[in-house]
Amino acid sequence: MSEKVATEAGGRIYTSGSYRLGVHGPGSDIDTICVCPRHIYKEHFFGEFQDMLRAWPAVTEISAVPSAFVPVMKTVISGVEVDLLFARVNLAEAGDKLDIEKDEILRGVDDASQRSLNGPRVTDMILNLVPDVATFRTALRTIRLWAKRRGIYSNVLGFPGGVAWALLTARICQLYPTAAPATIVGKFFPIYYQWGWPQPVILKKIETGPSNMQHSVWNPKLDRRDMAHRMPVITPAYPSMCSTHNITASTMSIIKKEMLRAMQITDEIIKNPGSTWISLFERADFFSMYKTYVHVVASASTSEGIKDWSGMVESRIRTLVQDLENTDNIILAHPQVGGISNVFYCLSEEEQAVASQGEVPPELMNRKETDIEGKEGARKIWTKNFFIGLEIEKKPNGQGSRVLNLFYPSKRFCAACQGWEKYNEMEMSVILRPAKRSDLPPYCFPDGQPKSKKKTKRGQQNGTNDIGLGDASEEHSQGPSKRSKATPSDESSSISYPVTNETSNSSIAASPIPSTVPLPNGADPVPPSILNGNSNAALPLPPPGIENLPPLSATSLSGFATAANGVVHDGHSGKNTDGLVVLNGAPQTASS
């Protein structure tokens, strides 16, 4: 191809996400979509173009994930994080006349390109569908900050991501078109806490698109996968998709709990004009929420390797959470958003092996890079630590320690990670280890670990003392199975939420919307009692949630049992004095 033809073929760059919405802040990345004509393929983008970027001095970091659901090249350019996405349109030219807002742009494109193109298309449509863009942006900034501080902002881990929070905020703006940002925020939490999930949140009527296009549109009546979505929030641009398909039973319960907390705080703020919003944005203290955790450690021998490897491991955490939800005696599995990164300076291979296990001795924890300079055999190891908090069933009176068998979840998780196409067992590792809160690494508590409260005899009699992590031989004494949990009369495993009906109708200041007002563009109906702030009505209890999950099927058990055997041996007991650890199928005596 001549240079003239290549120049005429052109190409366009679009932004999306928070930057295009106008709600980005310091440290935010910029989602950028590179739209190319049909003679440019993904292999060119992730091949030659990536090589050109690596040769550019302004680019200091590049991490490419061409096999992702939305292929992306994560870069740092002049100190700014830029996520580069690729879209190939079925046109000979992609110049200045290209209009991506028209549905025809999706004709003949592959699914990956369609998802990339829908980034800016959805963003633009959101801005076009809200009645007041300035109010929407202020409210969305508030909701985003709240969600990040409370640890419920992560699509990859099963929480709503940036697009979902934007759609949820935009819907409230539609319902209250003349309201101030504070009112939008005040209405946001009670409406979604009381929402009739899985009723979808939509900004406009879902369109099927041109008859000659075959892109899949969200439709729970036709697609069983769509029917399984717990909290569907639907994108407005064709083809409409569920932006919250990753939400699990556990993360849904956590979101509902945070919605309730925020609803109570904003209710007090509006009733007491002199109060501040500080408490709404308090950071969630994840490591004080639970007594038992699962610690996932991804380690690599290079700084470049840990970025791709830890990202892949993080992408598998959500399925681990789902497997933990299906494990006996576990009510809820709460993934920590973000993880904790560390670099350890080791003097030997033995220290490197210890660091990769996640339980690091103080001398290694405190060692600096200058301490190993010039020493033979010294090396570095990079780790990314992910934690999952576990809410455990209370044991019935008179029963011994409960058993937490992590064999199947850990086996399947490690096999999935080690099946990655770029996995190199000589340079990468992943392990899971159970840990009591008192045994968590020091880096979980930058301000020092809080003192544990002594257990009272009354608490012990009520079966609230710490759970023991038992071995596989005790699987028949693990307490109620998932089938018994699903029995309506069994309330011991349910998650309780405080509900108050004493709030006045004036608790959230807003102009009520009459029930006769039609909602815009065929959007979803909302009960008038919620729209008008009728908080005297009894709040519905949270959905049945994880206590009603069905037992593992024979197919699931077979899938677990046939997983690859190459699971890294934990070698740690979690120091549980009242039981045995079963992690990878080998019981280990707990050390005191």
136-155 per-residue burial string, b: 16 or more CB within 10 A, e: under 16? bbbbbbbbbbbbbebbbbbb
Residue 83, annotated ligand binder?
yes
Residue 388, annotated ligand binder?
no
CA atoms within 13 A on the CB side of 280: 24
CA distance 564 to 552: 19
79: nearest Cα among 63, 62, 58, 64: 58
Q: Is the dihedral of CA 207, 210, 211, 217 positive or negative?
A: negative
CB–CB of 94/37 below 8 Å?
yes
> DSSP H helical segments within 249-347, as ranges?
249-271, 303-325
CA distance 490 to 488: 5
DSSP 405: B
Residue 62, annotated ligand binder?
no
Give the pairing type, strands 428-436 and 379-392: unpaired
Residue 293, annotated ligand binder?
no
Residue 14, annotated ligand binder?
no
Residue 408, annotated ligand binder?
no
Amino acid at 312: M
CB–CB of 554/547 below 8 Å?
no
Strands (E), 179-336: 292-300, 330-335
Tokens 């070698």, residue located: 571
CA distance 385 to 293: 12
Residue 111, annotated ligand binder?
no
CA distance 498 to 250: 18
Amino acid at 310: S
In the three-class reduction of DSSP (H, G, I as helix; E, B as strand; rest coil), residue 194 is classed as: coil
Burial (CB count within 10 angstroms: exposed 0-12, middle 13-18, buried 19+), residue 78: exposed
Name the token pair of 481.
Answer: 């199975």
What residues are paired with 345 via a beta bridge? 380
DSSP 396: P
Task: Point out the annotated binding site for Mg(2+).
Answer: 29, 31, 83
Task: Point out the annotated binding site for ATP.
Answer: 29-31, 83, 153, 162-163
Task: Point out the annotated binding site.
Answer: 29-31, 83, 153, 162-163
